[in-house]
Amino acid sequence: MLDAATPGTDKPRKLVEITDLKMHFPIRSGLLRRHTGDIKAVDGVTFDIYEGETLGLVGESGCGKSTCGRAILRLYEVTGGSVVIEGRDIAALGPEELRKTRPTMQMVFQDPQASLNPRMTVADIIGEPLNEHTTLSSKEKLARIYELMDQVGLNRAFANRYPHEFSGGQRQRIGIARALALNPKFIVCDEPIAALDVSIQAQVVNLLEDLQDKLGLTYLFISHDLSMVRHIADRVAVMYLGRIVELSPRDDLYEDPLHPYAKALLSAVPEPDPAHEAVRQRIILQGDVPSPANPPKGCNFCTRCPEVQPLCHQQDPDLIEVRPGRYVACHFVKPEKPTAGSTGGIEAKERNQQGERR
């Protein structure tokens, strides 16, 4: 594992370290509601997020992206693994200690209409975290609310209006202002543009980028919009059925995906150049995604993989570094010889094994 940055070096500092994270939801059946199984929404995820970077988390609907984001912030009680933020294991904290760490980590939700209280004004919504976690006077709170509204591009004159009086993009700006109220270092953006018109999506993403530059924020950007992730992310993690199958720098992934699922996923991204679009080859996956309550034996992707081999049905591949900074969970993507001084970001195989031993 890489150490935190030290004075005089350019090594990035890890802000978030996730090791073997599991989030299983119990299945209960029968009159007595006995525990008869588990839905393995997140099943052994390991990655790091560096200070000041944006990590994109992509995958098709139902793969566990949003559950992973919520588990990282401990909006769910995690089943297993560790989530270390700023050197503290969030998954192991007691209620009072967890409450004290909340200002460090915040979330921007997918649907701004559902995540804002319709009975509260904009000033009340943005000021609620200040009421809970600070001892500011009423005047100081109002000044902070106005400052936050300015940062996200909302008119101060709208402070006493209600969410239904705003457009979808404006409501999302209110949600972003609320997330910024306590000066967090890490923000999980859970598909923040999915519920917005296409014309508004770019404005919200540009706002997030501007705020990151000004405030030094670190993002986990969850999305199924691969074109937007390419625009905003520094590195991208591809998720399938509760597991990370590839983790790579953005440009490397989009130019040369290594995992068969990543290849299929990126083949669906339209090309703006008509000449390239005409010769682009789509990879059409056969069959349906297996149930997370009953994942296949071996590799999770073996039932749909166009490159499947008998070994895939028997053994689950580890997420290992195959090229500098590139991690793939596939038996048939072989590691290149490591180069001196390469810094990949995580030692996924080693840490997964440590998690299993725990």
pLDDT, tens digit (0-9, with 9 covering 90-100), for 63-110: 999 999 999 999 999 999 999 999 899 999 999 999 999 999 999 998
Residue 187 CA to residue 198 CA, distance in Å, equals: 23
Q: What is the pLDDT of residue 10?
A: 61
How much of the chain, in percent, has pLDDT values that exceed 70? 91
Q: State pTM to two decimals.
A: 0.87
- Read off the pLDDT of residues 129-160 as tens digits, 9 standing for 90 and up: 999 999 999 999 999 999 999 999 999 999 99
**Mean predicted lDDT score pLDDT of the chain:** 88
Architecture in CATH for domain 1-86+219-358: 3-Layer(aba) Sandwich (3.40)
Tokens of 209: 């980028």
Region 181-185: what's the mean pLDDT? 95
Q: Report the alpha-carbon angle 19-23-24, nearest 5.
A: 140
- Read off the pLDDT of residues 27-40 as tens digits, 9 standing for 90 and up: 999 888 998 999 99
- Tell me whether domains 1-86+219-358 and 89-184 share a fold: yes
Residue carrying structure tokens 């009975």: 119
Domain 89-184, CATH among 3.30.110.70, 3.40.50.150, 3.40.50.300, 3.40.640.10 = 3.40.50.300
Burial 74-105 (b: 16+ CB within 10 A, else e): beeebbbbbbbbeeeebbeeeeeeeeeebbbb
Output the CA torsion 335→68→207→209 (10° steps): -20
Q: Where are the domains of the chain?
A: 1-86+219-358, 89-184
